[in-house]
Amino acid sequence: MHLAGAAHKPELTESDYLKVNVELTKYLARKAAMLGCKRFIQLSSIGVNGSSSSTPFTASDIPAPKESYSRSKYLAEQEIQAICASSDMEYVIIRPPLIYGPFAPGNFQKLVRLVKKTPIIPMGGIDNQRSFVSIYNLISFIEVTIEHPNAANEVFLVSDEQDISTSDFVNKIISSYKQRTLLISLPWSILRPALKLIGKEKALEKITSNVTIEMNKSISLLDWKPPLTIEESLEKSAFHESNKI
């Protein structure tokens, strides 16, 4: 099970991503095959499918990674598939969207910090649709793929199976973390120039675009359903953070 990789660091170059996410993954997969590992589970990224879409992404989509990180994850997938094709080792590739949970790095932790430190957040009018996956639901899915015969040599997309807007997600964070933050709506024509001035325009665009996932393959092949709702996952995450678990 390979979960390590380079991410969430803007200073990393394309070369850094290739070295860590591709070359080291290829080395690990080769060693696993040589040692007789039966199945190699690779945590990839929904970014392999693309950065946004007006229709839900599926596991059968033609890959269209747009950024250095996503391109490196796709190249790693190809290396793993090639190694497995020339050995007895099976592969499972999992492409999650934004993963959230206690002390999660990246955009989720930025949202939590924003909610905790800012009394008013102008993100109330974001009319988009996004898929998310909690660390709890992701672990549940990975556990199923470890031994399920139908998971062999397959690519899966996984989510909480609840598509919501970024505004709704932030509102649920406010509620779960028991904050008094006020969520207000500002026109994008005002918000975008303001964010551009402080260098945060691209960061917001990443979490306000449409990124949804169609999970029919994961459900039908593995008979899996997310055990927790978004609300339950966020409440559990808030509890674990407050108790430093």
Just list the catalytic residues. Answer: 69
Crossing angle between the packed helical segments 135-147 and 230-242, to the nearest 10 degrees: 110
CA–CA distance from 153 to each of 82, 91, 94, 177 (Å)? 11, 5, 11, 39
3-class DSSP state of 81:
helix
Distance CA 156, CA 169 (A): 24
Strands 90-95 and 39-43: parallel
Distance CA 94, CA 175 (A): 30
| Helix, strand, coil share of the chain (percent; to 5) | 50, 15, 40
Under DSSP, the state recorded for 162 is -
